[in-house]
Amino acid sequence: MTPAEPEEGSDPAAERDQAPRVEIVHQDDRLAVVDKPSGLVVHEAKGHHGDTLVSVLGELLGGGDDPERPGIVHRLDKDTSGLMLVARTDEAHRALSLAIKERRVERQYLALLNGSPRSRSGTIDAPLGRDFKAPERRAVGGRGARDARTHFEVAEKLGPVSLVRVRLETGRTHQIRAHFAAIGNPLVSDARYGGRPQFGLKRQFLHSAELGFEHPASGEALRFRSALPPDLAETLEAARAQVERRQ
């Protein structure tokens, strides 16, 4: 696992103790793919003080018009782990932002749901906006709703929970969490969207597991995968063991 370089004059030991470690999965002179740990906010936001992915990665990032979020072309929620694509130059930022807008970046996730969807696979096609009663949440038909489509396939039915593979067509805030809550299958331990806490998991079971795109300069097709981090892997094994005990 590769941490961001500490600033000149800082205490490296203290940096290792305090700053989250972010794995650099791929890096070239135009872009990088990183594996974000759970608990790390992507960029500064109102009410947040402390480390962010932007502050940890530092000079690795570049491009874009917003000085508070250089290089950021898409986001993951604070407690969602896994792969993110970031830019290092203005040119790459423009190209990657356009690729995401035109849905040419493939983003696949693993999620553990309470219950099981009615079909083994399908598409949730429902516009999302701010919840009128709770603005920090997103809801189908909420304020300023925009089109949102989530494709899914059930990988394993594990008694009271189900492991699903999810592919985003659009990338709205909290899209996966809000969509599965809307069909009655919130993510395990996703308290904000009504997901029951199970197996001692402290955050929603959601991981950005696969990322595919064409390099904006070379046109090379790139694909990266990320294994489940320990807390999610242990939760999945606990769910499987529970099913085995009942058989």
Condensed to tens digits (0 to 9), the pLDDT of residues 16-25 reads 446 678 999 9
Strand duo 206-214 + 81-87: pairing: parallel
Asked if residue 27 lies in contact with residue 57, where contact means CB atoms within 8 angstroms, the answer is: no
Please report the domains of the chain, with CATH numbers, ordered by start residue. Answer: 1-102 (3.30.2350.10), 106-211+227-247 (3.30.2350.10)
- Tokens representing 153 are 């396939």
Single-letter amino acid, residue 246: R
Average pLDDT, the chain: 91
DSSP state of 7: P
What's the CA gap between 188 and 199, in Å, rounded?
9
Number of helices (H), then strands (E), belonging to the chain: the values are 5, 12
- The residues of the chain scoring below 70 in pLDDT are 1-19, 45-49
What pTM does this model have? 0.89
Residue tagged active-site, from 77, 79, 190, 231: 77
What's the CA gap between 106 and 193, in Å, rounded?
25
3-state SS of 64-100 is CCCCCCCCECCCCCCCCEEEEEEECCHHHHHHHHHHH
Residue 90 is a catalytic residue: no
What's the CA gap between 159 and 151, in Å, rounded?
22
H runs (alpha helix) in the chain: 12-18, 53-57, 90-101, 175-182, 230-246
What's the CA gap between 229 and 202, in Å, rounded?
13
Asked if residue 150 lies in contact with residue 175, where contact means CB atoms within 8 angstroms, the answer is: yes
Identify the three-state secondary structure at position 244: helix
Instruction: Tell me the CA distances in angstroms from 90 to 3, 31, 66, one per residue in order.
Output: 24, 10, 11
